[in-house]
Structure 1
C-alpha cells in the first residue's frame, strides 16, 4: 500500500478505534463499579446525597479504567494498521 492510501485509511480507522475504546471503557468501568461500589451505578458528582469519598473514588477508578482501555485499544489499532499497510 502506498503512503497516500495509508494516510487516507489511518484517520477513519483511528477514529473508529477511539469510539470503540470509549464504549469498551464505559462497559469495563460499569462492571468494575458493580463489584466495588455500594450501589450498582457509580455516583453522579452532582448528587449531594453521595459522599465526597465515594464520588472521588469512582472518578479516579473511572479515569484509570479509561486510560488502560484506551492504551490497549490504541496499541491494538496501531498493530492492526501496521499489519494491513506493511
Structure 2
C-alpha cells in the first residue's frame, strides 16, 4: 500500500529532479568549458569530440540527482511510515 501511495510523489520528485539536473548541468558545463551552451547531438557542425563529453557529463549528473532524490524520498517515507516504499 505504501508503494502505491508513494508513486505520485515519486513522479513529481522525478520531474523536479530532471529540472534540477538540467540546471546543474548548465552551470557545471559553463564553469568547466566557459561556453554558454553545451553541444547538441543534433548539431551537424559539432563533432563527436565535443558531443560525447557533454553527453557523459549530463548523464552522470542526471544519474546522481535521480539517485539522491529516489533515496531521499524512500528514506523520508520510511521515517514517516516505518516501511521502505521502493
TM bucket normalised to smaller: 0.7 to 0.9
Q: Please name the residue that 1:73 is paired with.
A: 69
| Counterpart among 38, 43, 47 of residue 39 in structure 2 | 43
Residue 11 of structure 2 corresponds to residue 15 of structure 1: yes
| Counterpart among 55, 58, 73 of residue 59 in structure 1 | 55
Pick 1 or 2: higher relative contact order, CA cutoff 8 A, min separation 6. Answer: 1
Unaligned runs of 5+ in 2: none
| Counterpart among 22, 25, 32 of residue 26 in structure 1 | 22
TM-score by length of 2: 0.84
SS of corresponding position for 1:44: coil
TM-score by length of 1: 0.84
SS of corresponding position for 2:76: helix
Unaligned runs of 5+ in 1: none
Q: Give the drift of 1:37.
A: 2.4
* C-alpha RMSD over aligned residues: 1.4
